Structure 1
Amino acid sequence: MELQPDSGSFSVDKARLAALVKNKNHEILGELGGVEGIISILRTNLVVGIHGSPQDLHHRRKTFDANTFRKARIHWFVDLLQILYNKLVVGDVVYLKKGDKVPADGLFLDGHSLELDESKITGLKEEQTLPKMEKVDNSNPFLSAGAEVVDGHGTMIVTSVGRNTKCYQSKGEIYINEKTLLESKTKYLEAYLEKIKWVVAFSYLPISLGRYFSGNARDDNGNRKFIYGETSVLYVSYDIVEIILAMIIITIAMDTSSFTWAIKFNLARAINKLKADNVIVKNISSLEKAALGIAGILIDESGTSTVNVSKFVLAQQVAENEDPGSISQDVLALIRHGIGMNTTGIIYHEGSKFKLLGSPTERAILSWGVTELSMDLEKQMQDFCVVKVQSSNSSRGILLLSDNRFHVHWRGPAGTILTMCSSYYDNSGIKRVLNENLRTFLEQQMENSDSSKSQFIALAHTEVTDQDSTVEQDSLTLLGLLILIEKEQEGTNEESDLNVKLIIDKDSSAEDTNQTEVLVSFRSTQGDIVICDGNFASLAMVLRWGRCIWHNTQTFLQFQLTVNITSLLNTYIAYSEFKGVPQMDTRLTYELVQLIWENLFMAFIVAVNLGRENPSDELESTTTSNKLQLVKGTMWRNLIAQVVYQLVVLRIVENRGEAIFNASEDANQSITFVMPLFFQVFNMINARKIEEKNVFLGIRPSSIGLAVVLIFIPVALVELLRKLVGFERLNPIHWIACIVIALLCWAVGLAIKFVPVRFFSIPIMAVINKFKALYHVAIPGTKDFQ
């Protein structure tokens, strides 16, 4: 069924639909023609929901928004597929059963004994929230996103999604305030760097002030800036302000604000990539933990049929060890009714074929009923009327009315149903007494079953006089036992070093038969990651992305630390060497522009570029112990080599550039300005690989294109500053020389990787440990960033 959007808009807006459920407004519901009218307005189908083209889905999302607020697992009737919450659109038909969360605001279509707990919508903690039960039926058809189904089952039509739901308006966006392991380590690194930069910046003050008040600071003409008793207080104040501004520029040279949002970008990208592969990240830090091998993984086998009906036997056949044979037609009819009517699953016909919706157990039983018993569910729906539905633990009872006769059907774990039975049908369809000896024998046979994967589900029936009779009876008649076999799960990843907490969920709810133990384990265990396709091989993908987050963060840190340390030292040395007082209209101006470009724009560009690197095979061999270090020894080796090379070049260019490049003073000032910018462009490529010598391995064409574009940025900045601080345009030879010198950082990066790490890491770590010791004394209780 293909529903195409017409050229116009829907005849109802999202605000009115949102108010409908939020306020439980029967007046609006009546004005829109009731539930049937809304179905017509939204151009949906009562049975199959919407099955529109991509244009139709886009039209609905544009008109009514997307469901980007809650994370829920829902069923879309179109192809009986499970889809993620953000694919849900207004007009979808959603099936709900006990234990499910309502994924969006909507209206009740059909179902039995549907009851919701709306206390979950308030946003309070579970232990602080009293249950707020709400029965949903045709007289009260409103369902709110976030409510939990506590009883019954049913279908709903979605009327509001995302920000328009009552749930969103009640408690707004949910933010996770807990810092991840990677963020915590980065915060400590930032704290150390902040201390270092302020120590360096404050050390500039006594040097500069001492030079100034001793009369050694001079202006451009060689005159002393300060003469005791002659220089006015106003001029002294102005010069001191310039010195303080220079100190502030030194602190700006090391900006660590980009560290945190680089991590957030890496996490967000990994989460989105995994979501596209049916992996839902419930706890953000779990991806980082996966890289360290300490994450709990929850495998959700939703949507995978792993259960089959092996055979159906009568009580007499079990007792007398007979093979399953013919069954009385009267008993066979009762079995069909017990399977087809007493279920939370749905049969959906597509031409001559049928499809099933529900848990693996429900689908297995319904499939067996259709294929083996020739069950006609549509005819049963016409012949029977559901009067009442009752659930008890893992069992389910239903009261049916047909030809003025009331039938009670129960289905559930064999051990539970047997206690409710006082009789059974034999092979001829004759009702016999179920004595204690036979009951005990049946229980022993089930306990002694050869297959540990077997599930025994019992069907029972009785007739009652009227609809007021209680559904739960202690005198039911046993129809027989269904024996279900669970298939072995394939694809287990035995090579992963990830510590896995594996919980198998088979769409269990309190109504799913013989699934109580699975349900209890599932509900009581908190999983970090949910793998919705039920494939164990997805664990390797989760591990790779977890390690990729760490690797991409480390490559960015290596790049940004190189920039920050070089910029800090170069700025500090330049100001310390300067014999005069820095002027706002010259050096301070272009230093400020340079630092803003480096620490804001370039940091963002590089964070995105390096963060888009995909997991590689080389990460598989990375040991967990190495990944516990945020800044590894190899990173210190690489960045120290780059800092030394770049710092030496920058100091030579500033002090001897006029002679080397045969340039004027203004032209040399332009060269001094653009050199760090070129270093960053090529160092962005250099930082891609921390240990690999070939930094171009696996590089994306977009990264090369980005580097080419960034090379032209300094040209534009020189043109801008030429009008502000008197920069001079560079000739082609100067530009080529600057680019070639910057390109040599690749050669430095390659050469340094042949040097053993210990030559750098041991002395560097000794210095860091000394500083950390002083830092811990000053600030007790701090932790290491390593």
Structure 2
Amino acid sequence: MIKIKGLTDQQVEESRRKHGTNQLTVQEVETFWDKLMDNLKDPMIVILVVALVVVIVLAILGFTEWYEGVGIAVAVALATLVSTASEFKNEQTFQKLQEEASRIFINVFRGAELRLIGIADIVAEDKVFLQPGDKIPADGKLIQGKIKVNQAMLTGEPEAVTKTPGDTDDTNLENPHVVYRGTIVEDGEAVMEVQTVGDETHFGKLAKDLVSEERPGPLRLKLAKLADDIAKFGYIGASFIAVAFMFKVIYMDHTGEFALYFSQWGQVIKDVVTALILAVIIIVVAVPEGLPMMIAIVLAQNMKKLLKSNVLVRQLLGIETSGSLNLLFSDKTGTITQGQLEAVGFLSVNEDNEDHLNTYKKFDEMPSKLSHLLNISFRENTSCVVNPGAEREAERILGGNTTERALLKFVKADKNGYDSDGLEMISQVLFNSTRKFSASRLKMKDSSEISFVKGAAEKILAQCSFYYDADGNIQELAEETKASLSDQMDKKADDGFRIIAAATTEKEVAEDELSNSLALLGFSLIRDDLREDSKPAIETLQGAGIHVVMLTGDRHGTAKAIAKDVGLKTSDDDIAIESAEMAKLSDEEVKKILPNLKVVSRCLPQDKTRLVKLAQEIGLVVGMTGDGVNDSPALSNADIGFGLGSGTEVAKEASDIVILDDNIHSIANAVHYGRTIYRSVQKFITFQLTVNVSAIMIAFLGPFLGFELPLTMIQLLWVNLIMDTLAALAFSGEPPLPKHMEEKPKAREEKLITKSMWSSILCNGIFIAILSIIFLKSDFMRSLFQRDGAFSQEAFLTAFFAMFVFLNNFNKFNVRVEEFNLFHHIFQNKGFLQVVGMIFIIQVLITYFGGNMFRTIGLYPVEWLYVLILSVVIIPFDLMRKYIYWILE
């Protein structure tokens, strides 16, 4: 047992005052003003500003009204400010939630106890207990133990270096006695004494220059390409519109008066500038600035919901890709099972019994000598630290893995101390998934030396030549008995038990091999019940077209039993294979069995990496769960790495998504949200392109049909604000619906815009354009807007502006759902109703207070009724479109 005296609370405060905290200075992030300045440097904004200057000059010369320039300036400023504010707020929310959910805790000796302490609360002179997978929290020297540390973060060298206790003032990175913040413990256990904290550590000095790069996911790549394609369309359309405007002015408005027109150079300049500004505004409307950042907005809006579902998104890549996931390799312990391992009995050898076993359900039932040896074995041959006197139950057994904690609870280590005086640790071999055993060599009170070994039942039993009888005496183990014990363990495994064998030997135990002279103490039976929601979660994933494969370190019988119980292995065609058997297969043979593979038992970390690569080679999008140091390569190579919340910091950092409760149900939630976000992005695109099609058609055809700017530059800027940032916010809160998990995964090469989306974009866009043209050209429509017995051009054009905005705002309801019930789950996205309602209200206010700037006047109630009736027509039209599309499909 490790015995270390830690700092008292008073000493902690003194150290903090003297040496400072372990918090690193927060790296400077873009401020709101930084983002605003970046957005103002956007090429389109620069063009608008130049155009604005020209308009102001023309206003000074008397060729145009002063408010046109002011209106453009206000509209551009408003659009830029809203976009910047939204982006800034969402990024801040996302980062804050990530920081809160990503806090790192580590084992630190405080007083006479070992406690879990937040990394920021560590102080100089603290004693930190380091185990495999820990990220070293500060710079310091080893005072006990031996570890292998990966210092690649600081040195770039991937090979782990050995660190041992020793005094030295040399802080060179190659120093064998000093460990450094940010490096990773790969193997071994040790206690370090913290010497340097916070910004003064090697990592702290480098941190200010570190820049973390995020891989762009497939969805963002598709969005970026789509934005480029739309931009090209916008540039071409804008050019035609500018030419069309000048054609109308020169050849239609001044037929036969070309010389007179061109002699009025001020008017010519004004018209050319107007055409250019109109083209620029069309580009602003057409180019979807918000498209590439849409996914960030959606994710920020859903971050709290994801955290409530125990899903922490570390990389946007993960949640983007989850909609395409079609193969998930899942851990068993804690993910499919509860992870609350409980040792429910111990079996010792009795050759007189028919099954050659004695069964003890409780530790107290065991004979004294046998229980004494088992007590020493479990307490001394462990990576755990026991604090039976700790106030918090969670801190009475710290470190180690869930199996070791279950074994210690069986011998009541969390409730009682025991006399370890006279016992001296000589050497220790720690457990890992490759060797599948651990060993501790002790010098006993009588000066004899014994090695205590525990590990996988079949591995330990195979090396046993002796056993302990009920009186604690060593007897020779007959081969017949050994074979019978093996059969009994297979039956126990088939019943779902995890079996850990314990043995002793007088020989020294090497790191990679066991001697064949072990004396068997017996077998510990460990139960890990299924999570109640595991079977429904796996059914949900399978229903979503995702093939789930369970990877476990358990023996084959246990793995198959769990797979049957959880609904993974349901037929003879379903394949369950052991790691050793899979190692004999060629890559091509593994690829052939992948479609039917359901279980890999005694799975090794290298098996995970191999499976990921082979699955990707046949075109599958692969998700991998992991919790250990050795799982990092598989997590990094997978399309989506799911780190487990109970796992090592290394595994979490290698992952794209951290499942905080380890539960496979939470993985299903992550996939569900990923698919929902994908659909939200598609809704936004559908709405935005519909506005693009209608606005560009109206602006292009207007000059030929005799319209005098049916939508002014300022009005188009307002439309741009509605369809870009505000629309992104409206669709970002869409809830995850059950139907999303009934669809097939999205293929990597699948186009972002589907046939159904094109149907909606083209039909509704053209319909809005045609309805607008009819409105503008119809004498009947003109007759509806009379003031003092005469037609009012101002009221007419104000009504058209309001109708165009209302049409697109009502179209949001069409786009939001694919079904005919437009109010389905609408109250689950309150943000949608708020944004839509706000646009209606602001549009009404603009008509009354926009004045010359927006070219509006107040409308009469009956005129608003006309606008409302004409605008809401888009809803029955789209319902009819949906019905026809449904029939044709």
1:660 and 2:705 matched: no
SS for the counterpart of 1:260 is coil
Match of 1:409 in 2: 452
Summarize the Cα distance change of 1:198–1:309 in structure 2 as closer, same or farther, 3 Å threshold.
same
1:68 and 2:102 matched: no
Summarize the Cα distance change of 1:626–1:364 in structure 2 as closer, same or farther, 3 Å threshold.
closer
Q: Find the partner of 2:220 among 174, 183, 200.
A: 183
Question: Which region of structure 1 is more displaced relative to structure 2, 546-555 or 622-631?
Answer: 622-631
Match of 2:675 in 1: 547
Match of 2:283 in 1: 251
Summarize the Cα distance change of 1:246–1:121 in structure 2 as closer, same or farther, 3 Å threshold.
same
1:595 and 2:723 matched: no
Deviation for aligned residue 1:568: 1.4
Whole-Å separation in 2 of the counterparts to 1:73 and 1:507: 29
Match of 1:755 in 2: 884
Deviation for aligned residue 1:265: 2.8
Summarize the Cα distance change of 1:208–1:744 in structure 2 as closer, same or farther, 3 Å threshold.
closer
SS for the counterpart of 1:102 is coil
What percentage of residue pairs aligned between the two structures are identical? 15
Deviation for aligned residue 1:238: 5.3
Deviation for aligned residue 1:689: 0.8
SS for the counterpart of 2:356 is coil
Spell out, residue by residue over 1:456-489, the C-alpha distance to the aligned partner (whole angstroms, 9 max, x if none): 5343446799xx9999995976251224355463
Match of 2:769 in 1: 647
SS for the counterpart of 2:885 is coil
- The residue type equivalent to 1:482 in the other structure is F
Residues 714 and 854, structure 2, Cα contact 8 Å, conserved in 1:
no
Summarize the Cα distance change of 1:606–1:205 in structure 2 as closer, same or farther, 3 Å threshold.
closer
Residues 113 and 151, structure 1, Cα contact 8 Å, conserved in 2:
yes
1:270-669 equivalences under 5 Å are: 270=302, 273-280=305-312, 284-287=316-319, 289-292=321-324, 294-299=326-331, 301-302=333-334, 304-306=339-341, 308-314=343-349, 321-324=356-359, 329-347=368-386, 349=388, 356-357=397-398, 358-370=400-412, 378-380=417-419, 384=423, 386=425, 388-391=427-430, 393-400=435-442, 405=447, 408-414=451-457, 416-417=459-460, 424-432=467-475, 441=483, 451-452=493-494, 453=496, 455-461=498-504, 478-487=519-528, 489=530, 491-492=534-535, 493-495=538-540, 496-504=543-551, 517-522=603-608, 523=631, 525-526=634-635, 528=640, 529-530=642-643, 531=659, 533-538=661-666, 540-577=668-705, 591-600=712-721, 602-622=723-743, 628=750, 630-655=752-777, 658-662=782-786, 664-669=792-797
Deviation for aligned residue 1:749: 3.0
- The residue type equivalent to 1:750 in the other structure is L
Spell out, residue by residue over 1:94-149, the C-alpha distance to the aligned partner (whole angstroms, 9 max, x if none): 99765414285587999743443222456x5xxx6333444478986865235233
Spell out, residue by residue over 1:202-252, the C-alpha distance to the aligned partner (whole angstroms, 9 max, x if none): 334554455556x5444xxx9946548x62777655543433333333333
Match of 1:708 in 2: 837
1:678-717 equivalences under 5 Å are: 678-700=806-828, 701-717=830-846
Summarize the Cα distance change of 1:460–1:119 in structure 2 as closer, same or farther, 3 Å threshold.
same
Question: Which region of structure 1 is more displaced relative to structure 2, 319-328 or 661-670?
Answer: 319-328
Whole-Å separation in 1 of the counterparts to 2:187 and 2:805: 62
Whole-Å separation in 1 of the counterparts to 2:424 and 2:808: 75
- The residue type equivalent to 1:345 in the other structure is C
1:18-167 equivalences under 5 Å are: 18=23, 68=99, 90=121, 98-102=131-135, 104-105=137-138, 112-120=145-153, 129-135=158-164, 144-145=181-182, 147-152=184-189, 166=204
- The residue type equivalent to 1:200 in the other structure is G
Summarize the Cα distance change of 1:443–1:482 in structure 2 as closer, same or farther, 3 Å threshold.
closer
Q: How many matched pairs?
A: 677
Summarize the Cα distance change of 1:259–1:672 in structure 2 as closer, same or farther, 3 Å threshold.
same
Deviation for aligned residue 1:88: 7.1
Deviation for aligned residue 1:565: 1.2
Residues 77 and 94, structure 1, Cα contact 8 Å, conserved in 2:
yes
Deviation for aligned residue 1:614: 0.8
Whole-Å separation in 1 of the counterparts to 2:826 and 2:15: 48
Question: Which region of structure 1 is more displaced relative to structure 2, 108-117 or 643-652?
Answer: 108-117
Deviation for aligned residue 1:356: 4.7
Summarize the Cα distance change of 1:266–1:726 in structure 2 as closer, same or farther, 3 Å threshold.
closer
RMSD: 5.2
Summarize the Cα distance change of 1:649–1:352 in structure 2 as closer, same or farther, 3 Å threshold.
closer
Spell out, residue by residue over 1:404-454, the C-alpha distance to the aligned partner (whole angstroms, 9 max, x if none): 84654333335555687776544433345679x589758855786563455
Summarize the Cα distance change of 1:597–1:245 in structure 2 as closer, same or farther, 3 Å threshold.
closer
Whole-Å separation in 1 of the counterparts to 2:226 and 2:376: 67
Deviation for aligned residue 1:382: 5.8
- The residue type equivalent to 2:874 in the other structure is C
1:219-234 equivalences under 5 Å are: 224=257, 226-227=259-260, 231=263
SS for the counterpart of 1:17 is coil
Whole-Å separation in 2 of the counterparts to 1:223 and 1:9: 93
Match of 1:262 in 2: 294
Match of 2:584 in 1: none
Gaps of 5+ in 2: 1-7, 26-95, 110-115, 169-176, 556-578, 580-600, 609-630, 644-658
Spell out, residue by residue over 1:290-338, the C-alpha distance to the aligned partner (whole angstroms, 9 max, x if none): 4445243534634712463542314867999253588664443222111
- The residue type equivalent to 1:517 in the other structure is C
Q: TM-score, normalization: structure 1? A: 0.70
SS for the counterpart of 2:546 is coil
Whole-Å separation in 1 of the counterparts to 2:690 and 2:825: 22
Summarize the Cα distance change of 1:192–1:342 in structure 2 as closer, same or farther, 3 Å threshold.
same
Summarize the Cα distance change of 1:728–1:475 in structure 2 as closer, same or farther, 3 Å threshold.
closer
SS for the counterpart of 2:358 is coil
- The residue type equivalent to 2:786 in the other structure is N
Spell out, residue by residue over 1:581-637, the C-alpha distance to the aligned partner (whole angstroms, 9 max, x if none): xxxxxx59x733333333345422221221211112343454558995533333334
Spell out, residue by residue over 1:684-738, the C-alpha distance to the aligned partner (whole angstroms, 9 max, x if none): 2332112333335443455334433222212444566425466434444444543
Deviation for aligned residue 1:66: 8.6
- The residue type equivalent to 1:610 in the other structure is F
Residues 108 and 136, structure 1, Cα contact 8 Å, conserved in 2:
yes
Match of 1:738 in 2: 867
1:200 and 2:237 matched: yes
Deviation for aligned residue 1:16: 4.9
Q: TM-score, normalization: structure 2? A: 0.63
Residues 309 and 365, structure 1, Cα contact 8 Å, conserved in 2:
no
Whole-Å separation in 2 of the counterparts to 1:70 and 1:156: 27
Summarize the Cα distance change of 1:691–1:502 in structure 2 as closer, same or farther, 3 Å threshold.
same
Residues 422 and 474, structure 1, Cα contact 8 Å, conserved in 2:
no
Summarize the Cα distance change of 1:724–1:494 in structure 2 as closer, same or farther, 3 Å threshold.
closer
Summarize the Cα distance change of 1:506–1:430 in structure 2 as closer, same or farther, 3 Å threshold.
closer
Whole-Å separation in 2 of the counterparts to 1:389 and 1:247: 76
Residues 687 and 815, structure 2, Cα contact 8 Å, conserved in 1:
yes
Whole-Å separation in 2 of the counterparts to 1:600 and 1:119: 47
Deviation for aligned residue 1:499: 2.2
Residues 317 and 324, structure 1, Cα contact 8 Å, conserved in 2:
no
1:169 and 2:207 matched: yes
Residues 97 and 149, structure 1, Cα contact 8 Å, conserved in 2:
no
Summarize the Cα distance change of 1:733–1:441 in structure 2 as closer, same or farther, 3 Å threshold.
closer
Gaps of 5+ in 1: 21-64, 79-84, 509-513, 581-586, 762-786
Whole-Å separation in 1 of the counterparts to 2:20 and 2:717: 44
